[in-house]
Amino acid sequence: MKVETPILRRLGPIPFWRGEKKCLDVLEAMYTRSRRAAEKLLADNGISKEKPSHDSEN
C-alpha cells in the first residue's frame, strides 16, 4: 500500500534538493517502507492496527 502524501505535494519542489531522484519520490518511498515496518512490528507484537474501542470508558 502506498502512503498518501498530499501535504508534501502541496509544498511543491524542495529548494536546494540535489538528489538524482525527485525529493517527493524519495520521501514517499521512505514513508511507504516505514509504514510497512510499523505494521509488521505491531503485528509481530500482537497489536491490532484498528482503533481501540472506547466502550469500556462509559
Does this model's pTM top 0.75? My answer is no
Residue 11: pLDDT band (50, 70, 90) is confident
Burial (CB count <10 Å: 0-12, 13-18, 19+), residue 33? exposed
Residue 5: pLDDT band (50, 70, 90) is confident
Q: Where are the domains of the chain?
A: 19-46
Cβ–Cβ under 8 Å, residues 2 and 32:
yes
